[in-house]
Amino acid sequence: MERAYDVVLMGATGFTGGLTADYLAARMPADGRWALAGRDRSRLEELRDRLGVDVPLLRADVTDPDSLRDLASSTRVVATTVGPYVDYGEGLVAACAEAGTDYADLTGESEFVDLMYVKYHARAAETGARIVHACGFDSIPHDLGVYFTLQQLPSGLPTHVSGYVQAKGTISGGTYQSAITAFSHRREAARVHRERRRAEPSPEGRRARAVAGRPHRNAGLGVWALPLPTIDPDVVRRSAVALEAYGPDFSYSHFAAVRHLSSAAALTAGAAGLVAATQVPPVRSWLLGRVQPGQGPAAEQRAKSWFSVHFAAEAGGQKVITKVCGGDPGYGETAKMLAESAMALAFDDLPKTAGQVTTAEAMGDALLSRLQQAGMVFTVLGRRP
User: Consecutive sets of 10 residues in the chain, 385 residues long: mean pLDDT of each?
Assistant: 93 94 97 96 96 96 97 98 94 98 96 97 98 96 98 95 90 59 73 91 91 91 91 97 96 90 59 61 66 71 92 95 95 96 98 98 98 98 85
Q: What is the SS3 assignment for 19?
A: helix
What gap in Å lies between CA 63 and CA 84, rounded to an integer? Answer: 14
Q: What is the SS3 assignment for 7?
A: strand
Given a contact cutoff of 8 angstroms between Cβ atoms, the answer to whether 135 and 341 are in contact is yes
Give the model's pLDDT for residue 89: 97
* Residue partners of 351: CB distance under 8 A and separation at least 6: 361, 362, 364
Name the residue among 338, 342, 235 with its Cα closest to residue 16. 338
Give the model's pLDDT for residue 351: 96
Contacts 24+ apart (CB under 8 A), 259-263: 259/222, 259/223, 259/224, 260/224, 261/224, 263/224
Give the model's pLDDT for residue 288: 59
Phi/psi of residue 142, each to 5°?
A: -85, -45
DSSP letter string, 138-204: TBHHHHHHHHHHHTTS-SSS-EEEEEEEEEE----HHHHHHHHHHHHTHHHHHHHHHHHHHHSPPPT
Buried-state track 86-123, b at ≥16 Cβ within 10 A, e below 16: bebbbbbbbbbbbbbbbbbbbbbbbbbbbbbbbebbeb
Given a contact cutoff of 8 angstroms between Cβ atoms, the answer to whether 175 and 183 are in contact is no
Give the model's pLDDT for residue 86: 93
Sign for the pseudo-dihedral over CA of 107, 241, 382, 365: negative
What gap in Å lies between CA 263 and CA 53, rounded to an integer? Answer: 46
Give the model's pLDDT for residue 182: 66
What gap in Å lies between CA 31 and CA 37, rounded to an integer? Answer: 19
* Residue partners of 154: CB distance under 8 A and separation at least 6: 315, 316, 318
E strand or H helix at 306: strand 306-315
β pairing state of 130-132 and 355-356:
parallel
pTM confidence score: 0.91
Phi/psi of residue 273, each to 5°?
A: -65, -40
